[in-house]
Structure 1
Amino acid sequence: MKLSRLSAALGMSVLLAACATPWEVSDVNTIMEAPAPTAGSAFTKALFAEYKAETAQEAKNEYEWDHAAIFARKGLRAAAGEMVGPEEVNTTWYAPDSRVKELTDARARLIGYFGNGARERVPAAAAKAQAKFDCWMEEEAENDANSDCRAAFLKIEPELQVKPAMAPAAPRIVKTFVVYFDFNKATLTKDAQRVLKEVAAAQAEIKPTGIYVSGHTDTVGNSAYNDKLSNSRAKAVAAGLSKLGVGSKIDQKAFGMTKLAVPTKGNVKEGKNRRVEISFEK
């Protein structure tokens, strides 16, 4: 420091609070005159600005230059790219015993946010939260348990939290076609071929993200036989769609007689149950 600078600081200290030393006044003046840093991370640059603002508040509005100097020194360290941490509870400033737990818990949360990447993810908010926590500590030491800095810290705290990723919207069925089969058959009828052509045309227009083909039977026969029959029907429809250029996204399933379109008793021939459903998902 040049002698003229120190002399000026000494002169100013006479006019300011008696508890401020010339060195404290000099540190305050240094940060107030300092330009925005070019070195360091986005967090340390933002932290410099926040501590500079707290320094100005304490020196110019509160006339507490000794307290201002504490913020100034931390800000100057941040300007050099140092990862300065928040104040330890009851180390620099001492809060009443009744306030220690809230401060300790708040600091622990702040350190936790930093550990989860808040300084990298939201550097400006992280820097403001740290400076406001330090200011909160300072004001608690002055018996202000409901200070503006406490309110500011609590207000910005949610921005530091890792927000849960939103689950993607669940796909939904947007269109369904039904192909019917003759009794005990898995061959495509003329009507079935017509429906498959409608499916191909709709697929080109709708562009579904998924196509489901599910085979079904009526209740005639035993379960094992109907499982095989419903699978054969699903395969026949999938093959027919493939010939029409629809096939790369087909998910094929067979349900036998377990999902009836028309509820019936056993061994009942019901044409609407002998079917394959083709569903578009998007």
Structure 2
Amino acid sequence: MKRIGALIAAGIVLAATPSFAQTVGTCPRGGGSTQPQPVRILFDLNSSHLRPAEKPIIAQAVKTAKDRQVSAVCLIGHTDKLGDKAYNLKLARARAQTVAAEMIRDGYPAKNITIVADPEAFGNMSFGNDNASEIDRKVTIFYAR
């Protein structure tokens, strides 16, 4: 009986999470010269909270997607190479989810958003002090057709 209660509780928690896709490893991407350029949303070290300056960039990305009739977007969350790899995977996903939530608030359909976590830029390569590069702490918005 305890198992059934735990399963029901887990189902309630899952049902309460955002409904956008959380696909790992696949991003529908378009191509060609008419495709909007990818957009970068930067984050602070060890954070998945949006900087206030990034909100208008996301709003413009949503406007671009609507104006250009983009059928889907892929949000790829990234981290720098500092810290534990498992933690960085969670942080990369949390960053992408934060951007997805903001896009949904700005009116982009949740069903058209795919989330991918791609932590630790450049894989196993080490750049010493440059492992903490701000440009690596980002979510990249790719547009698909």
The two structures have a TM-score, normalised by structure 1, of 0.37
**Partner in structure 1 of residue 104 of structure 2:** 242
User: How much identity, in percent, do the aligned residues show?
Assistant: 24
Q: After superposition, what is the alpha-carbon deviation per residue over 1:26-75, rounded to whole angstroms, capped at 9, x for unaligned? A: xxxxxxxxxxxxxxxxxxxxxxxxxxxxxxxxxxxxxxxxxxxxxxxxxx
For residue 8 of structure 1, what is the aligned residue in structure 2?
Answer: none
Residue 172 of structure 1 and its aligned partner are, at CA, apart by 2.2
- Is 1:187 aligned to residue 60 of structure 2? no
The CA RMSD over aligned residues, in Å, is 2.0
Q: Note if 1:232 corresponds to 2:94.
A: yes
5 Å-filtered alignment, 1:265-280, equals 265=127, 268-280=131-143
Distance 1:182 1:213 in 2: 17
Give 3-state SS (helix, strand or coil) of 2:60's partner. helix
1:221 aligns to what? 83
CA distance in 2, matches of 1:264, 1:192: 28
Higher strand share: 2
Which stretch shifts more, 176-185 or 203-212? 203-212
Q: Name the SS for the 1:200 alignment partner.
A: helix
Which of the two has higher C-alpha Rg? 1
- Once the two structures are TM-superposed, the CA of residue 171 in structure 1 deviates from its matched residue by 3.4
Given that 1:220 and 1:266 are in contact with CA atoms closer than 8 Å, whether structure 2 keeps it comes out as no
Encode CA deviations 1:176-221: one digit per residue, 9 max, x unaligned: 1110000110000112111111111101211112210010000111
Please tell me whether the aligned partners of residues 121 and 136 of structure 2 are also in contact (alpha carbons under 8 angstroms). no
> Is the CA contact 2:43–2:51 (under 8 Å) kept in the aligned structure 1?
yes
Aligned mates of 2:139, 2:75 — CA distance in 1: 7
AA of the residue aligned to 2:141: I
2:34 matches 1:172: no
Partner in structure 2 of residue 253 of structure 1: 116
Q: Structure 1: how far apart are the matches of 2:83 and 2:135?
A: 16
Aligned equivalents of 2:92 and 2:77: distance in 1? 4
Unaligned 5+ residue runs, structure 2?
1-28
Q: Aligned partners of 1:207, 1:278: CA distance in 2, in Å?
A: 15
Note the alpha carbon deviations across 1:126-178, whole angstroms, 9 max, x for none: xxxxxxxxxxxxxxxxxxxxxxxxxxxxxxxxxxxxxxxxxxxx832722111
Matched, 1:199 2:57: no
For 1:276 and 1:257, the matched residues in 2 are separated by: 12
SS of 1:234's equivalent in the other structure is: helix
Q: Once the 2 structures are TM-superposed, how far is the Cα of residue 265 of structure 1 from its aligned partner?
A: 2.2
Structure 1 regions of 5+ residues with no counterpart? 1-169
How many matched pairs? Answer: 111
Structure of greater relative contact order (alpha carbons < 8 Å, 6+ residues apart): 2
Q: List aligned pairs for 1:22-171, cutoff 5 A.
A: 171=30
| Cα gap change, 1:177 to 1:197, in 2 (>3 Å) | same
Q: 1:219–1:266: 8 Å Cα contact kept in structure 2?
A: no
How far, CA to CA, are the matches of 2:128 and 2:113 in structure 1? 31
